[in-house]
Structure 1
């Protein structure tokens, strides 16, 4: 197997590469070596108990709060740069893409399922529109790669990210940080921890982060791709006895960001009044975007609220038994308006209104008496209701010209010329071809899920350890779909209306001619017939249009012009893991694991072909992945060097992907089989007590097998990714200084599973007027250099740090394709340019 060949390569390169992931300390204890000369060992809780990372038989990355602060991480996208095999794309807080070992999880549909689970203290927050949260006041972040369904449950098909938030402690503590930078960047963090008694403490922390956009708005107003997030967290810790503890955690986050810069790669930015060219086609230059007149009564951008409450409980029943409880409620609502076509003309404006709420309860019993056997078992319940509405406003006059390929490329005609062209093209229907036609679709999902799981570890000998785990999941699900049309589209009905209008006009004129002949005894002149035709036509057109059904351009209404139609179904399955770990010594461990991950069955709806017809539902069977992984973990040079590496191979069955329908929607279908293999390796080396070096590298070869996209690469997945850097700290007689350089690099990525191949994007009448033959929806290899330099007087409570991100001002794109790609006019989103700033920190 390819994974085994990779294993031999990784062992052969051990001395040369020596990568590891012990760069972080997820708890403050040191378990290897002594003093500052050694790398702090990591303690993680992947297997539901505290373990040194050295002894965990899985590929796990732990990132401490101090490491995240030192390298300047404030969000998921920045964090992922230092986790091999993990990528995060952040179009906006409402549209993140989490990519683990080549597999992307980013579906915004209410019926979709996550492949990569995101957790806050063990609570799943994986629904894409509510998963992207600010990373502040944390204890650590644990990233587990590979099928983790057995340990984490639903959505952990190929990995899980668990955010461990800082809890209240029985000490008086506080800190604050204020940052300012170019593009009007400003961020403030603050935390205060107060003990109320020996057993009760509270903690309040928050963040405000804002920045103007870095993509110029060529039409004036707010620039695009900016930031605007405010988050608050309140925690209560109660320790009534030495054996009983509770943590109550409440989170609230509000996001208000300017529009995403969906820049057209087909149509040059022009003045929407004069038609004058005001920009170019470069994806990283300014964009001329605007909301449709009157649509949603607001500007482009996102308004989102995410809130949740979690209660953690732990009762130590005895030295061997521990009972844990996780209770949680969470909700989110988000409304994002964007210029989906990326062009100056108001062809298409779209919004996404998503909301969801969830309840969950988990009970787990752990047993570990220090003997040969240890185990845990549990039950969990999860309920979620979610909906995603996609209203859109279409300028029918422009849409008709676009769909008829009458818009000049790359520079469209001036608005006056286009209006005259439309009047001619639509003839007598021109007054009824609207500039603000509106239609909408809504997907709805409801899940009730019950899990039962158990995991056993047998210490066969002091060196050999075997683990086996199994989880059964039962889902009862409802997938719903509805669509509505506000005003019938004359454009969509033109082909059916024209013959009716012609026939009715002819019938009425014929009747007038007959009446004239009967009254006068002679036929009327052609002039008279023309006069009657001119008089009758507007009345006939008005009557025919008034009698139209509520026909849409892209979405046809469901029965009742918006009634929801549901599909109810059930799904169940079993996941497992089998692991063997062998300790060659106290500083060298190797493991092999076989595991199965599973993503539940998905049913998604879309409009039928005729107005008021029942929607069409498409079923995608449960996605199954079987994996084999080999890993090696070492601590060398008396604890100064930490190294972990893993090689893996996967086989997927019923790989789920999203494809565009003839109505412009997205549905989940099975793309057949797929295979992946790769290598991940990380290192942390303490050169001296004040100088640390770290490095990560990942190779990920993920390709589709037989099926829809045979031999294609997985989207958003670079074959190679690399990060390295250092933390250098030194002191003088009066001050402390530190310097933190980091460099991250990735190879080429594609942005769609169809890899932008022309064979998948032919011309489609009524949707894509011209075949997309240009393969430009990709990003070539690029790297980012970040620098941070800090200063603090000795024994002072404050410090100051200057930073520069993307020092070389590397131009790159973070996404391509998007909604416009369904119409054959892909849009592009630029990545962040060079940004510099300063941070003041205070500890009190």
Structure 2
């Protein structure tokens, strides 16, 4: 499935307070810490997009998706706060499993949020946001293979009390309200608090009535404390809490039109932008469609300035998330497949960093980091076996987008006829009476649950040095080496025996075995009869087979070690013009891919997937003309991957596979012209060519990797009594992108919805 998107992001006007930009059209360079030390952005030898907190407000950047609009090479798909995908330069990861590392990570003040279910957080009361593109493993660790998004939160100030309040409203009932306040208790102690409330109604009509799809309501708060006992020591404690409610994702079918499940009346069409007819299956234990998520964190930052050239920095953080989500996975009003996603995780990270900068000619950053995390993802799903049978046999005809009423597909006579047809296609004769008895046992609410678990701990050591060889030339080199131990587990549980799976499996058995199994499946309540000597029929799963004792957890351990490095050079052509070149080697750790048993009660299959390696090359130009209000950044890059780890959907399960080689190369540009005080024209452009190079996916686009993305905008402020009126017309266009690595090609669809039975 692919999509081409064009949108007018803002075309109206808004009241604004005092100007955030510098006066007289002068461009001020933002100080960043992308290389773990303070520098002007032009001095960083890498592609970097950085926005101050004031600029984020001025551009009306409310969330990560908005941030991507103004950042070349970054794509953020936010289906919900707990189901988001970060893609940078054509490469990303969206696997919610507990055991895989991200390729693009979000950080808060350098502390990682590496699990996707807890990484999408609100952008409020920030000092700045830094988006570093390209392999950041050397400085940020294993979860930043392709890039890092660092959210630098606003800290308490010792300058005295201040406060701010702002509120916005827009279409679809959108509301955003923020408040922040600062208190300096003494010269040595200060406090700051901030809160944000944001909501939006659904943007896709619910054709069955009720709340529209895609809406959300979020409340986030932050409390921070700063302590400065001496001029050489700063310590800060930052506490964050966020709660998200979602109204259900518009997971709409592109095969069948929205319809009334009772009458079969057509209610809409296949356009994903228009109304959908979705609901959770009756009796689903996970509840109605939607999201309920909590994210919490506590971060300690300590900066000890030993002398003017040397400082020690400690970043210690604890994070947790608890997410519950329910999806109508089949995308129709019929209760064919409802899926839940219950994910929890806890993470502790600690980094001790030494910064040494004795003068203008040398700088060193190095440290050690420790990380420990535990997590699980439980995926319950409820399946209507009768509808699955109708879909597999073509009674629910994929060639005809209009569905029949639910009663048509579940009629006992039709179900018996379909069973006899399936058997006949396998050369097996089933009597009408036996087919009717088996059809009566097909479960309209068959439930299976899949769970993955992970516990890991690791340690890294790294160093990065910069030497100014001449007044114009800087050379840098960095190295990181890491070690980790990981324990991965998997369980699979059935609430009842799948009669449909047993029937399909029986057709592949020898005649005597087949006859006995079909007779057993004809017994009343065959789905729930316990397995025993008198009824020796195992619990068959429809999409996955159960582990031993119907739910035992199988585990395996993996030890991984490896290194990453980077080499860079920066040449100053003029005081405000910089050229740079970078070669970097990034590494994503080896992972254990877990697959449910091949037969009921069997062992989980753990398959090691080799570490993913990327060699990245980049050259770039950064130019500023402060007196004319002009800025420009451009970069050319090329990535070569080996052992590219990709996700493969097998039934309802996602597994990890080695897809071989992949390549990504492209061009990124961003620029602005501040032609008058508080009047600015800006634009970003990215061309990305990301393709698989071998294997089944050879020639395919990588998922969510548009070849072209362009944003052009104009920020105009007109003076008005008490403030100003802001006009912010912004146009963004993104070329077509595929949602999955298989690019929607039927011949590449792997696995079957119904699991094979041995």
Normalising by structure 2, what TM-score?
Answer: 0.90
Whether contact under 8 Å (2:499, 2:527) holds in the other structure is no
Aligned to 1:469: 478
Aligned to 1:679: 667
Aligned to 1:411: 402
Alignment of 1:497-516 (within 5 A): none
Aligned to 1:192: 181
Aligned to 1:757: 745
Give 1:544 shift.
9.5
Alignment of 1:169-180 (within 5 A): 169-170=157-158, 171-180=160-169
Aligned to 2:544: 555
Match status 1:86 vs 2:79: no
Aligned to 1:155: 143
Match status 1:460 vs 2:469: yes
Mark the CA change 1:471 to 1:279 in structure 2 (over 3 Å): closer, same or farther.
same
Aligned to 1:748: 736
Match status 1:46 vs 2:34: yes
Give 1:266 shift.
1.2
Q: Report how many aligned residue pairs link the two structures.
A: 710
Aligned to 1:612: 601
Aligned to 2:84: 96
- Counterpart CA distance in 1 for 2:679 and 2:50 is 20
Larger Rg: 1
Aligned to 1:146: 134
Give 1:672 shift.
0.6
Aligned to 1:422: 415
- Counterpart CA distance in 2 for 1:400 and 1:459 is 70
Whether contact under 8 Å (2:70, 2:711) holds in the other structure is yes
State the Cα deviation string for residues 185-219 of structure 1 (Å, max 9, x = none).
22221111111111111111111111221111111
Mark the CA change 1:402 to 1:369 in structure 2 (over 3 Å): closer, same or farther.
same
Give 1:496 shift.
5.1
Give 1:506 shift.
12
- Counterpart CA distance in 2 for 1:375 and 1:63 is 25
Secondary structure at the aligned position of 1:748 is classed as strand
Give 1:583 shift.
1.2
Whether contact under 8 Å (2:517, 2:537) holds in the other structure is no
Secondary structure at the aligned position of 2:307 is classed as coil
Give 1:393 shift.
0.6
Match status 1:627 vs 2:616: yes
Whether contact under 8 Å (1:391, 1:438) holds in the other structure is yes
Taking only aligned residues, the RMSD between alpha carbons, in angstroms, comes to 2.4
Match status 1:347 vs 2:340: no
State the Cα deviation string for residues 409-436 of structure 1 (Å, max 9, x = none).
3223322322221254441112321111
Give 1:405 shift.
2.1
**Which residue of 363, 369, 384 corresponds with 1:380?**
369
Aligned to 1:494: 503
Aligned to 1:15: none
Secondary structure at the aligned position of 1:759 is classed as helix
Give 1:543 shift.
7.1
- Counterpart CA distance in 1 for 2:242 and 2:23 is 40
- Counterpart CA distance in 1 for 2:586 and 2:553 is 32
Mark the CA change 1:483 to 1:595 in structure 2 (over 3 Å): closer, same or farther.
same
Whether contact under 8 Å (1:228, 1:256) holds in the other structure is yes
Give 1:540 shift.
9.7
Give 1:123 shift.
0.6
- Counterpart CA distance in 2 for 1:283 and 1:542 is 39
Match status 1:579 vs 2:572: no
Secondary structure at the aligned position of 1:411 is classed as coil
Give 1:250 shift.
0.5
Match status 1:431 vs 2:440: yes
State the Cα deviation string for residues 663-709 of structure 1 (Å, max 9, x = none).
43111111111112111111121212232111111111111112231
Give 1:606 shift.
1.4
State the Cα deviation string for residues 234-261 of structure 1 (Å, max 9, x = none).
1111111111001110000011111101
Give 1:758 shift.
3.1
State the Cα deviation string for residues 290-347 of structure 1 (Å, max 9, x = none).
1111112521000100001000000000111100000110100101001000011111
Q: Give unmatched runs, 5+ long, in structure 2.
A: 1-18, 420-434
Aligned to 1:361: 350
Aligned to 2:290: 301
Aligned to 2:424: none
Secondary structure at the aligned position of 2:349 is classed as strand
Give 1:537 shift.
6.9
- Counterpart CA distance in 2 for 1:136 and 1:734 is 24
Aligned to 1:716: 704
Give 1:111 shift.
1.5
Alignment of 1:204-219 (within 5 A): 204-219=193-208
- Counterpart CA distance in 2 for 1:290 and 1:449 is 42
Mark the CA change 1:540 to 1:474 in structure 2 (over 3 Å): closer, same or farther.
closer
Alignment of 1:650-665 (within 5 A): 650-661=639-650, 663-665=651-653
Name whichever of 272-281 and 741-750 sits farther off.
272-281
Secondary structure at the aligned position of 2:367 is classed as strand
Give 1:50 shift.
0.9
Aligned to 2:113: 125
- Counterpart CA distance in 2 for 1:464 and 1:540 is 78
Secondary structure at the aligned position of 2:180 is classed as strand
- Counterpart CA distance in 2 for 1:541 and 1:726 is 64
Whether contact under 8 Å (1:556, 1:608) holds in the other structure is yes
- Counterpart CA distance in 1 for 2:683 and 2:632 is 10
Name whichever of 318-327 and 675-684 sits farther off.
675-684
Give 1:619 shift.
2.2
Name whichever of 724-733 and 601-610 sits farther off.
724-733
- Counterpart CA distance in 2 for 1:649 and 1:507 is 62
State the Cα deviation string for residues 767-809 of structure 1 (Å, max 9, x = none).
79xxxxxxxxxxxxxxxxxxxxxxxxxxxxxxxxxxxxxxxxx
- Counterpart CA distance in 1 for 2:528 and 2:621 is 76
- Counterpart CA distance in 2 for 1:223 and 1:613 is 43
- Counterpart CA distance in 2 for 1:542 and 1:754 is 38
**Which residue of 265, 270, 273 corresponds with 2:262?**
273
Whether contact under 8 Å (2:547, 2:601) holds in the other structure is yes
Whether contact under 8 Å (1:501, 1:540) holds in the other structure is no
- Counterpart CA distance in 2 for 1:541 and 1:283 is 37
Give 1:157 shift.
0.8
Mark the CA change 1:463 to 1:29 in structure 2 (over 3 Å): closer, same or farther.
farther
- Counterpart CA distance in 1 for 2:723 and 2:296 is 42
Normalising by structure 1, what TM-score?
Answer: 0.81
State the Cα deviation string for residues 52-101 of structure 1 (Å, max 9, x = none).
11111111110111211112111000111101111101111111110100
**Which residue of 299, 307, 312 corresponds with 1:323?**
312
- Counterpart CA distance in 1 for 2:525 and 2:557 is 47
State the Cα deviation string for residues 156-202 of structure 1 (Å, max 9, x = none).
11111000011111221111122333322222211111111111111
Secondary structure at the aligned position of 1:747 is classed as strand
Name whichever of 270-279 and 418-427 sits farther off.
418-427
- Counterpart CA distance in 2 for 1:542 and 1:310 is 50
